[in-house]
Amino acid sequence: MPRGRGQASGATSTTRAETIRQRLADDILRGVYPPGARLDESGLAKRFNLSRTPVREALRQLTSAGLVEVRPRRGVIVSLPTDSALAEMFEVMGELEASCVRLAAQRMSPAERVRLELVHRRSFEAVRNDDRDSYRTLNFEFHDTIYRGAHNEFLSRTTVGIRQRIAPFRRAQFAIPDRLAKSHAEHDAIVGAVLRGDAETASELMRTHVNIVRAASWNYVHGLVPTAPGLRPEADVDAPAARAAAWPTQV
Ligand SMILES: [Zn+2]
């Protein structure tokens, strides 16, 4: 019996699936489960001390994120997306976020601008305390505030959908030392442009921000950069420098 309220409500089950999804995504990106490893539903249910339903849902979400795939007779297998597939996903993410912030700079209400500043200020506290978990949450809120500030329901829903698909890769960047402070500085420039109502600058800064996240995540996944203590991927990849050069590194 899992701890907690002990109720099997839909919302609780969704939360459990989300927790498992995040744990598994982190494990895959750290190399605990290398590409080709088989993820066994009942084994995972045992590991997390849960029923198979949230585990199945988590695996379904990981499938749409491209982290695992279902193979006939072999079950669920870890499969990292190819570099070009990941690059394409981040490119779309960058364009969508750039559109969101361009519209947000023009359309955000005064209350929404205050909220953006507030989230940004709180994230500075997380940087000062080197509190990665809080920063991840506040980063999520920061981008979410901009999506909603665009006042285009279809655009924000599309953007959230793509973000869910690449969430594990966005999260991976925060395992890199100094990434918190750099991310905050990038946000700072974006907030400045939004508050000035400078839509084009805000848009360009956001595109660059997402591109940097892409490079940081790629480097992390390929073990090319030292990571924060205790967060180094277990399956280190001795990637030759040529592979690094194939990807525009901006961090
Ligand atoms: Zn960000």
Per DSSP, 176 falls in state S
The enclosing H or E element of 104 equals: helix 83-107
144-175 residue pLDDT tens = 999 999 999 999 999 998 887 787 777 777 77
CATH for 10-78, among 1.10.260.40, 3.90.1150.10, 1.10.4080.10, 1.10.10.10?
Answer: 1.10.10.10
Please answer whether residues 115 and 73 qualify as being in contact, where contact means their C-beta atoms are separated by less than 8 angstroms.
Answer: no
- Cα–ligand 1 centroid distance for 139 (angstroms): 5
83-245 is a CATH 3.30.70.20 domain: no
Q: Please give the residue that has the higher pLDDT: either 3 or 202.
A: 202
Q: What is the mean pLDDT of residues 90-116?
A: 97
pLDDT, position 93: 94
- Cα–ligand 1 centroid distance for 17 (angstroms): 25
- Cα–ligand 1 centroid distance for 57 (angstroms): 27
Q: What is the sign of the dihedral through the CA atoms of 196, 197, 198 and 204?
A: positive
| Residue spans per domain, the chain | 10-78, 83-245
- Cα–ligand 1 centroid distance for 144 (angstroms): 10
What is the pTM (predicted TM-score) of this model? 0.70
3-26 residue pLDDT tens = 444 444 555 767 888 889 989 988
pLDDT, position 6: 41
Write the CB contacts of 172 (distance below 8 Å, at least 6 apart in sequence). 29, 216, 217, 220, 221
- Cα–ligand 1 centroid distance for 113 (angstroms): 16
- Cα–ligand 1 centroid distance for 231 (angstroms): 20
Share of the chain above pLDDT 90, in %: 47
